[in-house]
Amino acid sequence: MPEIIRDHLLTCLVFLPLIGAVVLMFMPKPAESPADGHGTHQDSSSPADPRAQAIRWMALLFSLLTFALSLILLFRFHSAKSSYQFVDGPYNWIKQFHVHYYLGIDGISLLLILLTTFLSVLCIGYSFSVKQRVKEFMIFMLVLETGMLGVFCALDLVLFYVFWESMLIPMYFLIGIWGHERRIYAAIKFFIFTFIGSVLMLVAIVALYVKTGSFNLVTLLTPGTQPHHLLSLISPHVLMWMFAAFALAFMIKVPMFPFHTWLPDAHVEAPTAGSVILAGVLLKMGIYGFLRFCLPLFPAQAHQAAPLFLTLAVIGIVYGAIVAAMQPDMKKVVAYSSVSHLGFVMLGIFSLNPLGITGAVLQSINHGVSTGALFFIVGMFYDRKHTRLISAYGGVKRAVPILAAFFLIAMLSSIALPLTNGFVGEFTILQGSFISHTAGWKYTAVATTGMILSAVYMLWMFQRVMYGPLDKEDNRSLPDLVWREKLVLAPLVVLIFWFGCYVTTWTKPLIPTVDSLVSNVGPASIAERRASAASILEGTAGKFAIIPLTRGKLGGK
Amino acid sequence: MIFNWVWLIPALPLFGFLFNAFLGKRVGKTVVGWLASLVVLSGFALSVSVLAALLKLPESERQRIVGLFPGGVVIPWIHIGNFRVNYAALVDPLSLLMCLIVTGVGGLIHVYATGYMAEDQDYARFFTYFNLFIFFMLTLVLAENMLLLFVGWEGVGLCSYLLISFWYEDKNNALAGNKAFIVNRIGDVGFALGMMLIFATFGTLSFYGTAAHPGFLQMAARHISAHGPLLISTATVIGLLLFIGACGKSAQFPLYVWLPDAMAGPTPVSALIHAATMVTAGVVMVSRCSPLITDSATVMIVIASVGCFTAFLAASIGLVQNDIKKVLAYSTVSQLGYMFLGCGVGAFSAGMFHVTTHAFFKGLLFLGAGSVIHALGGEQDMRRMGGLKNRIPITHWTMAAAWFAIAGFPLFSGFWSKDEILGAAYVSPDAGKVLWFVGVVTALMTAFYMSRLMWKTFYTNQRFNEAELGAHGGHGGHGHPGVHESPPSMTVPLIILAALSVCGGFIGSPFMGDAFQRYLAPAVRNTTAMPEGITGTVLVLMVISSLVAVAGILWAMSLYGKRRETGDLIPAAAKAKMGPASPYRFLLNLWYWDALCNKVAIGYGGVLGNSLKWFDTYIVDGVVNTLAWIVGSLASGFRRTQTGFVRNYALTMLIGVVAVVVGMLWGSFHFMFK
């Protein structure tokens, strides 16, 4: 590998898709079909336009290259280290304000980067079915990828903010141009929601700079910096406000109840690839924000606010699941299921222990995989019948058995059946929150009902779509999957079982990062120490009676 | 070393599953059916050889932990901090017993299904699910830790869902599948929470381990011997949570509602779910955790009472059902109640003994019922049966063997196991006599409803029109005209199971020195057992059990013998007059519990869902849209100021300038005259 690439691997990774977008700009525009860009209708297509085909393959090529580059990151990543790796910078960017160009990743960002590059390949591969404005679509997809990758790599707050905002724009257009009926409403709603949060975050970033003189995350977090820990210069009261501003931005992005209503609209109206990226990656940026900024910068505040977040997370789990069950639209069911799943992730984060946070990161990836698969599947239904209404289907398993099989697997992963990815994430989170000193068994018990509710809404939807008599005439002739669609879904299924059966591959780079993150955040309960200490087993016997539960309401002795 | 081959026991059906899933449609039915049966039956052969090796070891060493990958290699599943779970199997008397039942009875059901399903268009899909079912069940019984057990636990739930809704084109089957999965999930929540509490308390989910890393069952036992029952409160909570899980999986009150609906699947599925797999999981799990559960007297009494009550409840419902499979379904619920009664009074061996004999005779009953349904072209309603005794003789004689076994007729297999449970209940301390009495009454009802089933099906006069048979198709319909005995692939399993139903109980009888109980003793922690040998109490209890069984059979015989024409005790006219509170209606409507569950879950659940949906649309999102509207209206208000005329802007500017100047002047005055 050339030295310049090796030394600037992250920069190459982040900007490779952008280069792809620039290349696409110079490619000849395909002849536009007369229809005015309503959705991704297959039937309005003429025989494949070679220029459109060239653009598609070029976009796919660049996304594949980016994915390959991210795999190099995976292989070169030192799993034992908890510090930032592949660090690029800091280089002066805006010298007067000490803004730097500064990239670096740890275990958490590594997994999210892999998810991003992986889903981008699948989305671009799937979007070969897009017929309107192919060139612009692919350009926006690639620009979006650069924005997302930048978010996961940036170690400078301003740089982070720039990437954070820059990925709003292509997403806005993806929803607004290639979306469904109410796309304009959804696009604007998505933009304004996110923007309100991020403006507040900008205020907090600036305030942080004013107080400490640094935008550099590493400097801010190094304990030995002059004169001492920079953040200790700030009064706790001010820190709380800063925490709140950051947290609000991320809560909207996650989204947590009650800031979730942009999500169903955006998910439903976005084109399939947009929904997959939204659910798969964009929501994870909120999760990432909590892990990268809120917890390390404001550990005491995170502790203090944990009950609030845990409560909202648990409400989100139950509420999202119940509302999901009542939706008539398949995409809305999946969208609300995201609210529920992300509730689990937030529960894991605010458990503030290694088990919970590891589970949260795993579940973020899992959610990207399984919800991504579900959105692809709903998109495939839509491509065939131009409706997402559950009532328009029924008994179609007979017509599309392969699609049904993929649907079943994605559904099982979504309802966290053991040996699928969802179970590993969900159970780790629940076990983490159970032994947590912040959450404990009460929150966990409520959250666990999500296990039942997810089965209710998913099974019910599956039954109404797939089972029953095949009584609608036009459903009899629904075509089953073509090879391109199988190629999109198959890798997701592989990941579902890889994560589910052998998660060690993915936890290895993650655990040192999470451990060092948690070690800064606060004290552990006895059960938590029992879970993390290596040699607790001898002499445990005498300590049963003092676990928190026995002291609490359940116990007496 | 034979133990290093244990991994093959679950791996074989997994292979069968994968093969049939990917290639099943291409290779033809013969290959599919035989491969599926063969992988299970070779698992049985392997289990037998492992058992032989285990029995050669001294009793204290009959516990091996081996990996579940080729060569017995242990592979980690989840390692996060101290949360460590491996793919490993616990080979001990309990797990091997279950392996034998699952692969043995399960294998016979597979063979039977090759005949029963022969003409189904989704033959490959059926055996794909069937093998997966066996795989998950074997994972469950072999698991070395709670989490792996949970894999099998949820896995059999999944397979039952897939198989119950196998004929998915009928919406009711699909709904029954959903119900099974969701009700099971309710139990699973309890199980999962129990598991979390185990980890929080002990720091491990393994049952047993090494001296350096003991499993939680060892820690619990060690703790008790060293410190006395200090962890009573924790043990109680763990035990109750796990028992909620067991109630879901093993169909105990109040979560039994899914099992009777589960007969919507093809009959071999019912046999597999009810006899060899799935529903016994709860009993196995409770027995597995017996060293922990027995620490809490509260849990034990709850298990015993719930089991006893369920046995009674389900038997009473079974008295009046008309669908042959439904009678058997409620009888399963009732027999499972017996098993829990045994566990609850501290006789886990007796409970497991009943699991074993029940696998024989209930498997046989369902397969026999399948044969009847097959013969009648899909008819399941006993009101339209009768007179089949000589038409399908093999089915009749084998079912008769199972009938005597389940009724507890002396010397048949069910007699020994049921007697063991009732005896243990009788000698157990708290409320033992009450439990025993209810158990005996239930035994009487059992003998009665099974005899009723036999009379309605075989001995009363024929009540169906032979020409119409199979005309409705039905799912058992195979296009053969007229009543006919089943092919050998179906009757051979019946005969084998009949032999086991007759003789299978002797291994646990006093004649063989309670061999079964002694075999199982190292793996479970019995706190109560019947006195060894044939003493006075034992003999009296045995005589009572025998009399009850014989009385039940004779009673039914005398009643139905007089009504051979209709095969019905209560005339139709009398039935029509009965109100909803009459005993007959009450039983026919399942004590109204099912209806209540449906009303709450579907009725109130729907109301809750719709109100939350309304709340989400009009309150949560409504606030957002209202804010947007306010901003929008303000903006359009301000927009009027942007007229586009230069003179207006000039005027505004002038006002601004004046304001600034005034402000500055005011400021300086203020400064000067301060």
**What residues have CB less than 8 Å from B147, skipping those under 6 apart?**
A418, A427, B77, B78, B85, B195, B205
Tell me, yes or no, whether B583 lies in a domain. no
Report the C-alpha gap between B187 and B292 in whole angstroms.
19
Residues B611 and B650 in one domain: no
Interface test with B, best of A540, A543, A547, A553 (most B CBs within 10 A): A540
Tell me, yes or no, whether B467 lies in a domain. yes
Interface of A with B in 458-487 (CB under 8 A): 459-460, 463, 466-470
Report the C-alpha gap between B169 and B132 in whole angstroms.
22
- Which of A358, A448, A557 lies closest to B233 in CB terms? A557
Q: Are the C-beta atoms of residues B413 and B352 closer than 8 Å to each other?
A: no
Q: Per the structure block, which two tokens stand in for B642?
A: 């942007």
Tell me, yes or no, whether B61 lies in a domain. yes
Report the C-alpha gap between A426 and A337 in whole angstroms.
14
How large is the ipTM?
0.88
Smallest CA–CA distance from B214 into chain A, residue: A537
Q: What is the pLDDT of residue B143?
A: 92
How much helix, strand and coil, in percent to the nearest 5, is found in chain B? Answer: 75, 5, 20
Report the C-alpha gap between A437 and A443 in whole angstroms.
11
Cβ burial, residue B42 (10 Å; 0-12/13-18/19+) = middle
Q: Are the C-beta atoms of residues A546 and A526 closer than 8 Å to each other?
A: yes
Report the C-alpha gap between B553 and B96 in whole angstroms.
35
Diameter of chain B measured on Cα atoms: 124
Tell me, yes or no, whether B252 lies in a domain. yes
Instruction: Using DSSP, state whether B458 is helix, strand or coil.
Output: helix
Report the C-alpha gap between A19 and A144 in whole angstroms.
12
Strand B83-91 versus strand B64-67 pairing type: antiparallel
Report the C-alpha gap between B563 and B321 in whole angstroms.
18
Q: Residue B73's beta-bridge partner residues?
A: B69
With beta carbons under 8 A apart, name residues in chain A contacting B161: 459
Interface of B with A in 230-249 (CB under 8 A): 230-234, 237
Q: Per the structure block, which two tokens stand in for A397?
A: 């398993």
Q: What tens digit of pLDDT does each residue of B590-610 get?
A: 777 878 888 887 778 888 888
Number of residues written out for chain A: 557
Amino acid at residue number A165: E
Tell me, yes or no, whether B579 lies in a domain. no
Pairwise CB contact (< 8 Å): B158 & A417: yes
Pairwise CB contact (< 8 Å): A419 & B178: no
Residues B553 and B594 in one domain: no
Residues B48 and B83 in one domain: yes
**What residues have CB less than 8 Å from A243, skipping those under 6 apart?**
A294, A297, A298, A301, A302, A305
With beta carbons under 8 A apart, name residues in chain B contacting A431: 83, 196, 199
Higher pLDDT, B230 or A212: A212
**What residues have CB less than 8 Å from B81, skipping those under 6 apart?**
A354, A355, A511, A515, A531, A532
Q: Within an 8 Å CB–CB cutoff, is residue B200 touching chain A?
A: yes
Q: Per the structure block, which two tokens stand in for B648?
A: 């207006």
- Which of B177, B613, B620 lies closest to A258 in CB terms? B620
Calculate the average pLDDT of chain B. 85
With beta carbons under 8 A apart, name residues in chain B contacting A366: none
Nearest to B624 by CA among A465, A11, A192, A39: A192
State how far residue A552 is from chain B, nearest Cα, in angstroms.
Answer: 11
The residue segments making up the domain with residue B635 are 589-640
Smallest CA–CA distance from A423 into chain B, residue: B151
Interface test with B, best of A195, A261, A433 (most B CBs within 10 A): A261
Q: Are the C-beta atoms of residues A384 and A427 closer than 8 Å to each other?
A: no
Pairwise CB contact (< 8 Å): A431 & B188: no
State how far residue B170 is from chain A, nearest Cα, in angstroms.
Answer: 5
Smallest CA–CA distance from A502 into chain B, residue: B77
With beta carbons under 8 A apart, name residues in chain A contacting B80: 354-355, 358-359, 428, 507, 511
- Which of B170, B213, B613 lies closest to A537 in CB terms? B213
H or E element at residue B89: strand B83-91
Dihedral of alpha carbons B409, B413, B418, B420, sign = positive
Residues B330 and B444 in one domain: yes
- Answer yes or no: is pLDDT of B667 > 60: yes
Instruction: Using DSSP, state whether B142 is helix, strand or coil.
Output: helix
| 3-class SS string, A51-116 | HHHHHHHHHHHHHHHHHHHHHHHHHHCCCCCCCCEEEEEEEEEEHHHCEEEEEEECHHHHHHHHHH
**What residues have CB less than 8 Å from A91, skipping those under 6 apart?**
A100, A101, A102
Q: What is the pLDDT of residue B149?
A: 94
Interface test with A, best of B80, B121, B168 (most A CBs within 10 A): B80
* Least confident span in A219-228, B343-352, B416-425, B437-446: A219-228
Report the C-alpha gap between B181 and B9 in whole angstroms.
26
**What residues have CB less than 8 Å from A516, skipping those under 6 apart?**
A82
H or E element at residue A389: none
Amino acid at residue number A156: D
Instruction: Using DSSP, state whether A142 is helix, strand or coil.
Output: helix
| Cis ω for the linkage preceding A170 (within 30 of 0) | no
Residues B169 and B244 in one domain: yes
Q: Are the C-beta atoms of residues A472 and A392 closer than 8 Å to each other?
A: yes
Q: Residue B89's beta-bridge partner residues?
A: B66, B143
- Cα separations (Å) of B493 from B106, B114, B517? 10, 11, 27
Q: What is the pLDDT of residue A308?
A: 93
Neighbours of A223 (CB within 10 A): 10
Pairwise CB contact (< 8 Å): B83 & A355: yes
Residues B486 and B593 in one domain: no
Tell me, yes or no, whether B581 lies in a domain. no
Tell me, yes or no, whether B482 lies in a domain. yes
Neighbours of B573 (CB within 10 A): 7
Interface of A with B in 33-72 (CB under 8 A): none
Q: What is the pLDDT of residue A406?
A: 94
Q: What is the pLDDT of residue B390?
A: 81
Residues B659 and B605 in one domain: no
Instruction: Using DSSP, state whether B323 is helix, strand or coil.
Output: strand
Q: What is the pLDDT of residue A532?
A: 52
With beta carbons under 8 A apart, name residues in chain B contacting A470: 169
Q: What is the pLDDT of residue A22?
A: 93
Q: Within an 8 Å CB–CB cutoff, is residue A429 touching chain B?
A: no
Pairwise CB contact (< 8 Å): B203 & A531: yes
Neighbours of A281 (CB within 10 A): 30
- Cα separations (Å) of B266 from B55, B168, B362, B403, B474? 38, 11, 16, 22, 11
Output DSSP code: residue B567.
-
When computed from its CA atoms, the radius of gyration of chain B, rounded to whole angstroms, is: 32
Neighbours of A168 (CB within 10 A): 17
Q: What tens digit of pLDDT does each residue of B492-542 get?
A: 989 999 999 998 888 887 777 778 888 888 888 888 766 665 577 778 888
Residues B602 and B666 in one domain: no
B506-539 b/e (C-beta count within 10 Å ≥ 16 → b)? ebbbbeeebebbebbbbbbbbbbbbeeeeeeebe
Interface of A with B in 188-207 (CB under 8 A): 189, 192-193
Q: Within an 8 Å CB–CB cutoff, is residue B204 touching chain A?
A: yes
With beta carbons under 8 A apart, name residues in chain B contacting A458: none
Residues B386 and B531 in one domain: yes
Give the alpha-carbon dihedral of B133, B517, B333, B89, to 10 degrees: -20
Tell me, yes or no, whether B267 lies in a domain. yes
- Which of B155, B178, B231 lies closest to A418 in CB terms? B155
Q: What is the pLDDT of residue A551?
A: 29
Q: What is the pLDDT of residue B246?
A: 93
Cβ burial, residue B460 (10 Å; 0-12/13-18/19+) = buried
Report the C-alpha gap between A403 and A388 in whole angstroms.
15
Interface test with B, best of A322, A423, A458 (most B CBs within 10 A): A322
State how far residue B50 is from chain A, nearest Cα, in angstroms.
Answer: 27
- Which of B151, B185, B609 lies closest to A452 in CB terms? B185
Residues B171 and B235 in one domain: yes
Q: Per the structure block, which two tokens stand in for A94?
A: 């805006």
Residues B351 and B401 in one domain: yes
- Which of B79, B181, B609 lies closest to A455 in CB terms? B181
Pairwise CB contact (< 8 Å): A427 & B182: no
Output DSSP code: residue A47.
S
- Which of B81, B613, B616 lies closest to A354 in CB terms? B81
Count of structural domains within chain B:
3
Model confidence at B228, pLDDT cuts 50, 70, 90, reads: low
Output DSSP code: residue B493.
H
Q: What tens digit of pLDDT does each residue of B155-174 get?
A: 999 999 999 989 888 888 88
Q: Within an 8 Å CB–CB cutoff, is residue B175 touching chain A?
A: yes
Q: What is the pLDDT of residue B103?
A: 93
What region does B591 belong to: left with phi over 0, alpha with psi -120 to 50, or beta? left
Residues in chain A, pLDDT under 50 = 36-45, 226-227, 533-557
Q: Are the C-beta atoms of residues A29 and A51 closer than 8 Å to each other?
A: yes
Interface of A with B in 295-324 (CB under 8 A): 319, 322-323
Q: DSSP letters along B205-256, please?
A: -BSS--SSS--HHHHHHHHHHHH-STTHHHHHHHHHHHHHHHHHHTT-TTGG
With beta carbons under 8 A apart, name residues in chain B contacting A194: none
- Which of B75, B76, B81 lies closest to A532 in CB terms? B81
With beta carbons under 8 A apart, name residues in chain B contacting A502: 75, 77
Q: Residue B143's beta-bridge partner residues?
A: B89
**What residues have CB less than 8 Å from B384, skipping those under 6 apart?**
B376, B463, B464
With beta carbons under 8 A apart, name residues in chain B contacting A531: 81-83, 199-200, 203
Q: What is the pLDDT of residue B469?
A: 65
| Cis ω for the linkage preceding A328 (within 30 of 0) | no
Report the C-alpha gap between B132 and B18 in whole angstroms.
9
Output DSSP code: residue B83.
E
- Answer yes or no: is pLDDT of B232 > 50: yes
Q: Within an 8 Å CB–CB cutoff, is residue A530 touching chain B?
A: yes
Amino acid at residue number B212: A
Residues B633 and B650 in one domain: no
Model confidence at B470, pLDDT cuts 50, 70, 90, reads: low
Report the C-alpha gap between B575 and A260 in whole angstroms.
56
Taking one residue from A and the other from B, the number of pairs with CB-CB distance under 8 angstroms is 199
